[in-house]
């Protein structure tokens, strides 16, 4: 009876929510918040100055950051005031959202490994230290952590059901998620394209049409912001314009691979400004981003071998750990303070995944394909820019939890001297 209760998704959701709220109250970050760039943008929205910033020395309409979280934060302030209570309510909303992913992660695990690892996967979600931490923060990671497993489950469910009732909300939700984290467009775009090709090969015309409809809903959702960006910048900027900055920070003579210089007291831009810094105050934001991007390309053309090695190093760091000396040490300095905790559970994940592969047997083709999309896409995105922030990988670590659960069950079964129960739903 107790074992059956411990496998109940709603119970695990409740425990997760309780733990999240406990961490929120214990840290009390809502009483003395660090809001970073999103807070500055939200403040301007709150003050009626629009989505604007002074990144290049002049206050102007910006697309430096994705609009989702600044608008959410400003909306909370408009409704409840700029008070700790308002931020506490936002923390509670984030706790509910993050805790809710026990449902899609459990569903995905059951799909690929069967019901027994699914319960373990839900408990892994419940006890994830990174999830608890970002629930207390006031920037987009908690929202991104919430969206990704629900979106992946939605696209796969759409493939199964071939229903417009799944297509429309999945497409709209994907577009909304992209307004918080544009990287979602790339990974979900690749997955949905693969599903569309598979349906086309199978001549499942109805299913293909609904996948196309979902994609159209995604584009429809981001279209108003893209149109706004075109009106502001005079060019096509789907969501964000800051690729030039990230690209230069990862590809300059002083690049470390992370956002920070050694000892983590300054970022690359502050410590070693680009030559194009002389343009600040003279050109627009997107023109300044273009200048930094051109500067990075010039460096790459001059040092192609270094670029290849740096890219490989950053991809390796992304999937292992960035050395502590290149992590931000000011402010809360959480990346340095909790480095062993973050690195420890991640390497525990990798070990359990290996045990799962050896002890559980062949993983499903669908799961391996999804893993490949995530691995290749994220390796490229952060390999050519910068690594170092735990949220970069944390937003998509859910995809490894099914294999971690299988590894845990394999290890437990080995200790008990029995074979793990396998129940593939997708071969």
Residue 352 lies in a domain: no
Are 9 and 102 spatial neighbours (Cβ–Cβ below 8 Å)?
yes
Give the Å distances, CA to CA, from 133 to 166, 213, 361, 379.
32, 36, 34, 24
In 3-state terms the chain splits into helix, strand, coil percentages (rounded to 5) of: 70, 0, 25
Cα–Cα distance for residue pair 18/12, rounded to 1 Å: 10
Mean pLDDT, to the nearest integer, of 245-267?
91
The answer to the question of residue 157 being in a domain is yes
| Domain annotation covers residue 9 | no
Share of residues in the chain with pLDDT > 90 (%)? 79
Query: Cβ distance 186 to 379 under 8 Å?
Result: no
Taking Cα atoms as reference points, which of 412, 418, 414 lies closest to residue 119? 412
Say whether pLDDT at 425 is over 50: no
Q: Is residue 330 part of a domain?
A: no
Long-range contacts of 271-280 (CB under 8 A, 24+ apart): 274/248, 279/56, 280/56, 280/57
Any idea of the CA torsion for 256, 324, 320, 340, to the nearest 10 degrees? -170
Band (263; pLDDT cuts 50, 70, 90): confident
Whether residue 392 lies inside any domain: the answer is: no
- Reduce the DSSP state of residue 203 to 3 states and report it: coil
Domain that holds residue 176: 140-238
pTM score:
0.94
- Nearest residue to 184 via CA among 138, 135, 218: 218
Q: How many domains does the chain have?
A: 1
Least confident of 7-11, 54-58, 164-168, 339-343: 54-58
Cα 355 to the center of its chain, rounded Å: 26
Q: In this structure, is residue 180 part of a structural domain?
A: yes
Phi-psi map region of 55: left, alpha, beta (phi>0 left; psi -120 to 50 alpha): alpha
Q: Is residue 380 part of a domain?
A: no
Coil, strand or helix: which one is 387? strand
pLDDT at 6 over 80: no
Residue 72 lies in a domain: no
């Amino acid at each position: 009876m107790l074992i059956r209760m411990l496998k109940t998704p709603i119970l695990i959701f409740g425990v997760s929510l309780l733990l999240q709220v406990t961490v929120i109250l214990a840290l009390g970050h809502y009483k003395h918040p660090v809001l970073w760039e999103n807070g500055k943008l939200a403040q301007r929205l709150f003050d009626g100055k629009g989505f604007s910033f002074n990144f290049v020395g002049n206050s102007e309409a910006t697309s430096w950051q994705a609009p989702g979280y600044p608008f959410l934060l400003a909306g909370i302030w408009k409704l409840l005031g700029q008070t700790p209570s308002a931020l506490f309510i936002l923390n509670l909303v984030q706790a509910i959202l993050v805790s809710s992913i026990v449902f899609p992660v459990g569903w995905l695990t059951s799909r690929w490994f069967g019901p027994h690892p699914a319960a373990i996967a839900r408990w892994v979600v419940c006890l994830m230290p990174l999830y608890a931490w970002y629930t207390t923060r006031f920037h987009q990671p908690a929202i991104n952590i919430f969206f990704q497993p629900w979106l992946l489950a939605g696209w796969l469910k759409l493939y199964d059901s071939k229903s417009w009732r799944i297509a429309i909300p999945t497409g709209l939700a994907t577009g909304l998620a992209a307004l918080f984290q544009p990287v979602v467009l790339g990974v979900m775009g690749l997955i949905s394209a693969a599903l569309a090709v598979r349906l086309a090969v199978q001549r499942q015309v109805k299913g293909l049409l609904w996948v196309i409809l979902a994609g159209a809903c995604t584009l429809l959702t981001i279209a108003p912001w893209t149109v706004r960006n075109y009106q502001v910048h005079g060019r096509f900027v789907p969501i964000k314009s800051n690729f030039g900055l990230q690209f230069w920070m990862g590809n300059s003579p002083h690049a470390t691979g992370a956002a920070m210089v050694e000892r983590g007291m300054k970022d690359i831009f502050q410590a070693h400004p680009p030559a194009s810094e002389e343009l600040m105050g003279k050109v627009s934001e997107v023109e300044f981003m273009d200048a930094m991007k051109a500067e990075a390309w010039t460096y790459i053309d001059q040092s192609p071998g270094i670029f290849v090695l740096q890219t490989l190093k950053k991809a390796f760091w992304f999937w292992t750990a960035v050395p502590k000396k290149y992590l931000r040490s000011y402010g809360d300095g959480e990346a340095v303070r909790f480095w062993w905790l973050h690195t420890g559970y991640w390497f525990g994940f990798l070990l359990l995944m290996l045990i799962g592969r050896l002890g559980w047997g062949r993983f499903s083709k669908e799961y391996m394909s999804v893993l490949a999309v995530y691995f290749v896409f994220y390796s490229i995105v952060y390999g050519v820019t910068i690594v170092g922030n735990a949220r970069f990988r944390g937003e998509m670590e859910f995809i490894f939890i099914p294999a971690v659960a299988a590894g845990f069950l394999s290890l437990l079964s080995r200790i008990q001297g029995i074979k793990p129960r396998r129940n593939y739903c997708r071969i």
